[in-house]
Homo-oligomer: A and B are copies of this chain.
Amino acid sequence: MSVIEDLTRSLGEAVVLTGDRIAERHRSDASLTGRSLPKAVLRPASVAEVAAALRICDGHRQSVVPQGGMTGLAGGANPAACDIVISMERLSGIEEIDAAAATMTVLAGTPLEVAQRAAEDAGFLLPIDLGARGSCQIGGNLATNAGGIRVIRNGVARDNVLGIEVVLADGTVVSSLNKMIKNNTGYDLRQFFIGSEGTLGIITRAVLRLRPLPAGRLTALCALDSYADVVALLKRAQRALSGLSAFEAMWESYFRFNCEAEGRQFFETSPAFAAIIEQDSRGQDGEREQFEAFLGQALEDGLIGDALVAQSEKEAQAFWRVREGHAMDRLLPSLVNLDLSLPIGDIGRFAEECGRALSARFPPAHVSFFGHVGDSNLHIAFSVPDAAQETAHQVDAIVYPLVAAYDGSISAEHGIGTLKRDFLDHSRSEAELDVMRRIKHALDPNGILNPGKVLR
């Protein structure tokens, strides 16, 4: 019996889609690099169905690609024509919010924004947040250990997961739905699966940690003269602002490009660096005054050249629109967004050196830098008009060796997938890769789970 027949007999035709019933959206994640539709798409509606599907596929040595909201940027959810996709979209819903424990138990296919709203309705903040919140799913957020803009306060996805349920390649359901903040009973199984990009198991449920919902936010946009000043301001903000929830830096060309595109002029002259500082508010008296006093002192000390404090939610959003760079889309389809991590003190020097190298090789290119500097995370926006197909590879070949020379990471938050896989040795030693291969073989001996992703 073929694997498709076996799956159909066990799960039914409603779950097993083939041929014309396979939707186009299963071809590629948001990197748009996927080329093939899979030979089948499974749409399980229960953990038992996920387990049955994997057990059958493992028996047939059939490769399986898990898919969430398809918002990844590293090709991690792209199938080959010989793969079977397991789409998590029907395994969706919030199962419990425990107000005393401050936890949410949720199915993996739940869209992030749905989970965020449910948390807010219960008076909590779900701190995982990223631009793709409307379509990305919790399972994918955990499988890629998603980052985002508020990591400086509450950490990456990994730091907000208390418990996890996973189906292994052989169909074993490993349920580790812990609700406790401290739990030292043996190896921390959560950690093995979070960030493993679907190569070690398929996440089916999670217990997420909730935080107090801030009463509001205070947001400032600052103009600075140098990267050294950016780091000094970050340090000072971390000391003085106990509710610091975001610290974002934009290099001159990025800030100017986006201000012009949005038709905004925040400062008289375009500063060498712009930074957004955001603080959670507790709704107490004097918070805004303290925030403004902090900025006033930085101004007086010459650390910043100018600062604007948002007087309304709308003004704060105007700052964030520039940072989020929606206007960069006009550089599509040639736009490349690199996602790097470097020791915070070295980011300024790295950006200079990297910008010079890219501009030398591609003189007409747009190259600009921005990032979650407080989390050591730098993004590069790169675009050349009429780019050839191999341009992205040439950019990688310039940037990644430089990242390695700075002891940086070639992926801060996007993951490895297929697009960065062949560069993984720029950030990981052979000994590290060998440990990863040993773990992979221990948990997926037949190699059916998302083959070719992360590891070759």
List residues of A whose CB falls within 8 A of some B CB: 98-103, 144-145, 147, 151, 155-156, 158-159, 168, 172-176, 178-189, 191-192, 194-196, 200, 211-213, 231, 235, 238-243, 280, 282, 284, 286, 290, 341-346, 372, 374-377, 407-416, 420, 424, 427-429, 431-436, 438-439, 441-443, 454-455
Contacts and interface: CB of A to CB of B under 8 A. Distances in A.
A180 B428 contact: no
A102 B344 contact: yes
A189 to B, nearest CB: 6
A453 to B, nearest CB: 10
B180 A188 contact: no
Contacts of A439: 187, 192, 439, 442-443
A443 B438 contact: yes
A178 B189 CA distance: 21
B442 A438 contact: yes
Oligomer: number of copies: 2
A334 B187 CA distance: 30
Nearest to A175: B429
Contacts of A412: 180, 182-184
A430 to B, nearest CB: 10
Contacts of A443: 435, 438-439
B239 A180 contact: no
Contacts of A455: 186
B345 A182 contact: no
A188 B158 contact: yes
A427 B185 contact: yes
The 8 closest A-B pairs by CB, nearest first: A100-B345, A191-B191, A442-B442, A182-B412, A180-B341, A180-B376, A212-B239, A183-B409
Given A100-B345, A174-B432, A195 B189 contact: no
Contact of A424 (B186, B200, B372): B186
A372 B181 CA distance: 10
Contacts of A98: 343, 345
Most central of A186, A239, A284, A377 by chain B CB within 10 Å: A186
